Amino acid sequence: MVTSVPNKVGNYSSTGNGVHKLFFDDITNFLRRCLFRVLSVGPIPTHLAFIMDGNRRYAKKQNLKEGEGHKAGYLALMSLLCYCYELGIKYVTIYAFSIENFKRRPDEVQSLMDLMLEKMEALLMEESIVSQYGIRVCFIGNLRLLSEPVRAAAEKVTKVTSNNSKAMLLVCVAYTASNEIVHAVEGSCKEKEKEFRLCNLNNNVMDDVKEGEKVNGMVVHDIQDFYEDTSVESQGLKQGKGCNGAPYHACESFESNWDQVLTSKASKSGEVSEGFRNLRQEVPVIKLVDIEKHMYMAVAPDPDMLIRSFGESRLSNFLLWQTSNCQLYSPAALWPEIGLSQLVWAILKFQQSHSYLEKKMKQL
């Protein structure tokens, strides 16, 4: 017969259930640590990304009120984050709110914003997972689309956790990959425009040079013709045609187009091509590295694996730029049902394909 143990173990009022629960929790934690130790023998992903699909379906399945599914999803997320950081996964990215989600009913959007604000404030508490694991939190996306209270809370969490360095949580809100790419291209163009204005071949310098004189080895009238030609080419690209009027292909390099123009102008002018080489070096050109450094996700390496719940394999405009060499895992469980077993299977799947993907990456 089990006797009551009042005021002996915590605040449990039932007959020994508190002792059993504590014992069970200790055993569970011990077994989980053993499991993680075994998994750590193989490669562990540095960065996991999650598309949290199925919160509303879960609420409907469990006959819960609207919005309760997202709260259950938040609890599942907290457990999963603990498992990830215990396993040594340093970066976790979650797709919390898409720009497309703003198209939902206003009351549903407001409910999600209220829940987001509540959970952001909870992250700042001393006993939160952020403090426990030393997590730096970054909010990724077009934050200008958020309401003022939510945006202010996001900025506060980012600032307060900025010195944490053990792990990183990236929360994608008001985000789509297409918006991120447009943002990166715009940022790159603005940066190159500033560099161009500082270039000694800008109009301010040219105003002080007479016709026929040389600047960096180029005759003045040739430089002016060069800018006119490149302007015409830009119009051709906007119209879907290449520099020579042929259909434009994305795989063609902008740099090669510039080289063709420079070679052509050098032949026309009869001047030594050294001046054109100088111009080629000084005129700013947008490169891949320029685009990538202006990405919202530039603060973290590309994901090693993307996990989407409910068996869906669509990316839904999420991290399209960063997932070209990323594994995709789609467990059948709804997001609030995601737990340790799904994470373990994801790690095993990653380890199974890791060597093959590493060889592929080296070949690129």
- Which residues are known catalytic residues? 53
Rounded Cα distance, 30 and 18, in Å: 18
- What b/e sequence results for 234-251 when a residue is b if at least 16 CB atoms lie within 10 Å of its CB, and e otherwise? eebeeeeeebeeeebeee
- DSSP 8-state class, residue 252: S
Among 317, 322, 302, which residue's Cα sits nearest to residue 174?
317
Among 102, 4, 12, 115, which residue's Cα sits nearest to residue 70?
115
* CA dihedral of 98, 68, 85, 140, whole degrees rounded to 10: 20
Let me know: does 230 contact 224? Beta carbons within 8 Å. Answer: no
* DSSP per-residue string spanning 97-110: EEGGGGGS-HHHHH
Give every CB contact of residue 363 below 8 A, 6+ residues apart in sequence: none
Among 187, 205, 208, which residue's Cα sits nearest to residue 197?
205
Among 127, 121, 183, 179, which residue's Cα sits nearest to residue 150?
121
Q: Which residue type, as a one-letter code, is found at position 302?
A: D
Lookup: tokens for 41: 């023998």
